Structure 1
Amino acid sequence: MGRSSMVDRPDRCMSLAAVGWLTLAVATARAAVDPEAAVGVWLMDEDGGHTATDSSGRDFEGVLHGAEWAAGKFGSALKFDGVSWVSIPDHPDLEVGDQLSMMAWLFVEDIGDWRQLISKHEEYLLRIDPPGGGNTMSAFVHAAGGWEPRASANGSNTEEWTHFAATYDREAAGDTDHLKVYVNGSLAGKSMRPGDISAGGGVVEIGRWGSTGIIDEVAIFNVALEEADIADIAENGLHVELGGLPVNPTGRLAIAWAALKH
């Protein structure tokens, strides 16, 4: 009786099989970007507490200095008021040499002054420049004893989310542009920057230098990611591209189940 009823309802069998496949797909999400290349990933999804967890597995925990939790691009994020910041203690793994990628989501409230997104003393810096400083978003590496030339893109709009990333490759094959910046996943600026990044020995800081606004999903890699990888991260978020579960996966399954029922 039970067997014949299942045969009589092939649509239900197919629906259950499809939902099972979707469940398995979510549970076994595959990383599009190699997680081993991440030296620090701060998703900022704690939505409370005094620290930002490092999801890279290296345990480079960020300590909050006045930053407050807020709604982010994905899940929660950190809001900065101009005097708050996050610090990550120095570690040799954060002293990136031949290659580097760094990125963050930002929601800028104003650009009246320089706004730091990510920095490591005498090594690398991702920042926003005010109108008086060029009205750009810029990336720097401290290579061959100096900071310039930088790579820059047009400045971020206020009151909207922007993904800003930079890559550095000291020996980029067939490419003299060692330092590149990407806005919302697309190449937006580049410069020649030969030489090794200096080992400055300082802490990593997020959101210092008077930053006002919200920062989400900060990451540092020890490789120069490809544009396609950065575009995927900007589209889907680090939590997906590094192999984690999507935000609210049960909600997505509910939507899939509702679609299958129709």
Structure 2
Amino acid sequence: MIHSTAIIDPAAEIADGVEVGAYCVVGANVSIGKGSVLKSHVVIEGHTSIGENNIFFPFSAIGQITQDLKYVGEPTALHIGDHNTFRENTTIHRGTTEEVPTTIGSHNLFLSYSHVAHDCQVGNHCILSNNGTLGGHCTVGDHAIISGLSGAHQFCHIGEHALVGGCTKIVQDVPPYMIVDGNPAAVRSPNLVGLQRRGFSEEARRSIKNAYRKLFLSKKYSLTSLIDELEGTETAQETHVKRLIEFIRQSERGVIR
């Protein structure tokens, strides 16, 4: 299961049944769970723990050191869950400090040339399309989709079930359940088709749509004042609308409108 041209440090922990293709390089502090596949020319380094049934396509570079200039050589980490796919030339970097590892959940898809920078936290069932890029310290909620050639500024949060359109510039937080697109980015509509596909009830979708109309169609008033008005309505009692309000109130960078 390990190609003769692969270079694997003796200290690496490789589970039974892992496939390592031609010209792969696996460093000393790497652990790889069972069922994972390294196609060929894959490089995995650093304190990188990888779960089960992950697949890495050629020239993906996983666990490289942070590009943050504050890094001074600490043994920083990257943690990857299960059932993720990393397509060609994907780059995933370790954290900048020992205290905060870069973390990837499970069942994610990273398409060619996508990039996850240091200290990012990516949830489950997310998609980063070709050339989708996350700056350092970004957080991505479950089921979020970042379309091709889109880039997120450092410290931005992308909410769960959000859809970021292609070539979008993200410099503030992306609210959950919404479609964001453009440069500068703006909220275009609720992600109703995506929510329906993921089993959101008609009532939940209707409530999210009503909240969208209240919060994002008018730019005359601040989000804070609009949320205050929304919280006095029946719509605000729906579980996902509560989450949307919570996300906006907790945002430190401000929320894309």
TM range (shorter): under 0.3
Report the structure, 1 or 2, having the larger strand content.
Answer: 1
Q: Which has the higher contact order (CA 8 A, sep 6+)?
A: 1
User: With structure 1 as the length reference, what TM-score do the two structures score?
Assistant: 0.26
Report the structure, 1 or 2, having the larger helix content.
Answer: 1
The higher radius of gyration belongs to 1
User: With structure 2 as the length reference, what TM-score do the two structures score?
Assistant: 0.26
